Every structure is written in structure tokens, then in C-alpha cells.
A and B are shown apart, each in its own frame.
Chain A
Amino acid sequence: MNELAAYQSAFVDALDAEEADFAPSRHAAFDVYRNTTMRGCVDALEDNFPAVACLVGRDWFRSVAALYAEAEPPRDSRLLHYGDTFPAFLAAFGPAAELPYLADVARLDRLWTESYMAADAAAPDWGGLAADALARVVPTIHPALRLFRAVTPAVSIWQASRAGLPAVDDLAWRPECALVARAGMTVQVHAVEASSLAFIDACATGATLAEAAMHTLGIYSDAALDHIFAECLRIGAFAHEGVSHP
């Protein structure tokens, strides 16, 4: 190893350790580097997981974020992307066990960010199609669409948290689903029934709209397909054909 690489290796080791056999780390000023590198990671997580931070409070959030940053420091300098494994980390984090919805809320925060960063795409142009032609269309899923399923009421909790409310009154404890979509430039989280996700899932496998509808009815015999299809169009779930997936 050359001298510069050896120095940088020792520097990184000293950043991670409280005490190190590395001359610069004996200065009190070395803590500036320790603090700045850690604060950069924690700030990024706080920015990327605002609903989680609102639920648990700033101090608790920053403590757990620091533990995550130690275990899984960023591999990408685009810090907007940091934290893809943070929901899984929270799911396995013992002290969070009394908040069984927390990892789900983190997952929804993450899907919001993914939708926010995704490629742009025009809406489909199906206006002139007759009903039978429309039924044969194989739709293209919009690159900013994300599907969310949770066994907890994480969508209601997430929506309240993003609105700045740490608690939800009269929360019904049941599984919830959502579609995260970007119509124009605004990311929105839409609470939907599981049947809507089944419809999108089928579309994503290359089914025609008619096949996707049949698939959905096969699972949810009472699914309101007209409503689901209108909802998909309204929220921007589909893109103009020819859009490639990221």
C-alpha cells in the first residue's frame, strides 16, 4: 500500500475509534472530523426519514441514526439515496420493538424518496381508444410509482406524521396499502385497497388491462375495477408507452 492510502486507512480507522494510535487523532481538533462525518450521515437520515423522526422525536431518531451510520456508512455520496437499508435496520432494532409500525413507516418514507428521484414520464394517451382496444393495451408502469403493503396501519400513521401529528386518533389496527406516485412534480401517497396493488402487479408483469382486471377479480371478487382503473389514471400510475424502467 502506498503512503497516501496507508494514511487514509489509518485516518478512517481513527474516525471510527474513540482512541487510536494515529498521531492526528491525538489533537482535540480531530473530533471536528469525527463530528462532521457523523453529523453528515445523521442529518441525511433525518432528511430522508421525516415521518420516522416525527414519530420517535429528534433525540431518539438521531441516536438510532448514529448507530445505523456506524453499522452501515454511506456507499454513495448522493446522500438523498442514503438509508435504503434503514427500514430493515429499524425492524431488527430491539429498542424499537414496542413500535411495531416503525419499520413500515420508514419503508414508506423510503418509497417517497424513490418516487421523488425517479425519471419523468408523460401520461398515457388512451383518450381515443375504444373500450375493446383499451382492454388490449399493455400499460407501462410510471417510473415514479411504488407499491406499499404493511400488516400495520402504517399508511395512516405515516400520513399523520408527515402532517406533523405524532399520533392518530381512533386508529383502526389493520393492514394498510398505498400507492406512491408522482403526478407532475408532486409525490403523493394514496391509501388504497389491496386489490389496487394486485391490479398494478398484474400490469407490471406484462398483462393487458383486461387480463390484469381478470387477475384482480380472481383474488378479490368484489374489487371495483372501474374505480381502481380510474384511480390509477388519476394518480399517474401509468406512463406513455416506450418509457424504459430504471
Chain B
Amino acid sequence: MTALTAGVGFKPQHLDEALACTEAGVWLEVHPENYMVDGGPRLAMLDALAARHPLSLHGVSLSLGSAVPPDATHLARLRRLLDRVEPALVSEHLAWSVYEGRYLPDLLPFPRTAEALARVVDNVQRTQEALGRAISVENPSHYLALEGHAWSETDFLAELAARSGCGLLLDINNVHVSAHNLGFRAEDYLDAFPLHAVTEIHLAGHGVDETRDGRLLIDSHDAAVDDAVWLLYERVIARAGHVPTLIERDGDVPAFDRLMDERRRAHRAMSRLREAA
């Protein structure tokens, strides 16, 4: 298998083109929750993709930031999917989305305290034990400044990776969105990010929401990757080197080839790195 370069988020409407795609280094990412079924067309589709391309399972609901351990049933379902498609990459978010059994379809923030760190480390370790492999944890998008942080996010993630052995998924669009919304410099955040632990990068587009408190950037995944995010990306890989990079798109999904154009841009950026080395 050739090394993974740039991949795209898989959308079922792109199935035929995704199966026919022969570009070097391509890989596909899916949300495992959408494939946790007993059988039928969804699993058949995933099997066909797995036979053709390396896959990344990118979970959205494990709720690693919860004050309780991850749901054992959910972990067992995830393990069954892993055993079935043997993904190249497995990731989740530094967020919570389950409270007392209720699922909140979002990636919610929490104060980065010592207690939260211990909890997330434990939750990641339980996950890795259940899955029999390391996972990577993604930096979330932020919309408001929470009080009570004892750790910066970059230090929190570095400590999480060191204590749990997990990798990190660096979402550069999330950094750009959060930097705007919370008023910090994305470059400073990225300079402080523990790049040695990064196993995957996400690039996506965002939207704009005008509120009574001013303009917010929204991590909406419904647009092409912004030029500012591409600039940050080139800056990151110049330091980090080759990292599998995903073009995420969930809304207003364009034709497969349009996504592949963005994917090729990331692929070329990594190829230039290799040539320069």
C-alpha cells in the first residue's frame, strides 16, 4: 500500500466515482455511527470501499469529554466495524455529546481542568483498550470563551497524548474558526501545537453567522477550504512533514471531482515537501 497522502470525506452520492478512483495516496473517511447497522446496503457499501481504498473511521459521538466512561455498547459496535474494515486511521473529538444517556448531536466544549484531563485520559485509554489500537483526538471548534480553563488547549492535548498514548488530529479549519471567535492568533496556537503527535490533519470550509455580539465563524463544512486555512496548512506541514490530510465536506456537497481538486491541492503540497527534502 502506498503512503496515505490526501483523502476526502466519503459521501454516498459519490460511491461510483470513489470506487473508480485510482489516484495514488487517496483514502476515504467516514463517520462510523452511520455504519453501525446489522446489515444491508450501508455495510455493503463500506465493504466495497474498504476493498478499494484505505479508510479512516472518524467518530462523532464517543463523548470522550464526558464525566463518565464511554458507552460499552457503542465501543463494542465500533470494534466490530474496525475488525470488519481494518481502517488505517481511527479518530474522535476532544468534546462531549452524551449526557446521562441523551445524545446531543454536536461537539460540546468543557473547561480544561485537571479533573477533565484525568477523565479524558481515562476515557481515551478505555477506548484504546476496547479497540485494541491507538486513536487520535481532534481539537474542536470554539464559539465562546469558557471560564475555568486550567490548561491551554495545546498543552492539554500534548498531555493527553503523553499520558494516554493517543495521537492527535489537527483540524486547521477549527483552529482558524476558534482563533477568530475567541480572538487569538491561529499561528500562535499552531506554533504551540504538539505536532510530533499529529497523525492526521483536517481541512474544511466554514460559514459566517452574524450575532448580537458580532460575527462568528461556524465550522459548517459546507464550503470549499478557505485560502487562510490553506496558508496555515502549508505552514504546518513545512514543520510537521508528511501527514495524511483530509478534505471534509458535509453540507452543500459538490461533485466528487470538485472535492478531488481540493484533495489534489493538499496532495501536491505534500509532494513538494518530499521533493524539497
A interface residues, Cβ below 8 angstroms from B: 2-5, 7-9, 11-12, 15, 23-24, 27-33, 36-37, 39-41, 44, 73-80, 115-121, 143-144, 182, 185-187, 246
Contact = CB atoms under 8 A, between A and B. Distances in A.
B101 interface: yes
B173 interface: no
Given A29-B213, A116-B41, A77 B67 contact: no
A117 B104 CA distance: 22
Contact of A120 (B39, B103, B116): B39
Nearest to B214: A28
Closest 8 CB pairs of A and B: A40-B105, A77-B61, A120-B39, A5-B67, A28-B211, A117-B37, A119-B38, A29-B143
A44 B105 contact: yes
Contacts of B66: 8
Contacts of B212: 28
A65 to B, nearest CB: 13
A110 B116 CA distance: 39
Contacts of B181: 29
A74 B100 CA distance: 11
A117 B42 CA distance: 8
A29 B110 contact: no
B105 A118 contact: no
Contact of A79 (B33, B39, B116): B33
Q: Determine chain A's interface SS by DSSP, over half rule.
A: helix
B34 A3 contact: no
A31 B211 contact: yes
A24 B41 contact: no
B91 to A, nearest CB: 16
Contacts of B105: 36-37, 39-41, 44, 74, 77, 79
B183 to A, nearest CB: 12
B147 interface: yes
Interface residues of B, number: 48
Residue among A8, A36, A74 facing the most chain B CB atoms (10 A cut-off): A8
16 contacts: A4-B113, A4-B119, A7-B111, A8-B66, A27-B143, A27-B213, A28-B212, A32-B216, A33-B106, A40-B105, A73-B103, A75-B101, A77-B97, A80-B34, A119-B38, A185-B41
Contacts of A182: 40
Contacts of A9: 99
Contact of A3 (B113, B145, B218): B113
Interface in B103-128: 103-106, 108, 110-111, 113, 115-116, 119
B104 A12 contact: yes
A36 B122 CA distance: 28
B3 interface: no
B143 to A, nearest CB: 4
Nearest to B102: A73
B115 A8 contact: no
Contacts of B101: 75
B240 interface: no
A144 B216 CA distance: 46
Given A28-B213, A80-B34, A115-B40, 19 more contacts: A4-B111, A4-B116, A5-B67, A5-B68, A15-B104, A28-B216, A32-B218, A33-B108, A39-B105, A40-B104, A41-B105, A44-B105, A73-B104, A77-B60, A79-B105, A116-B42, A117-B42, A118-B39, A119-B39
A58 to B, nearest CB: 16
A76 B37 contact: no
A171 B238 CA distance: 67
A7 B110 contact: yes
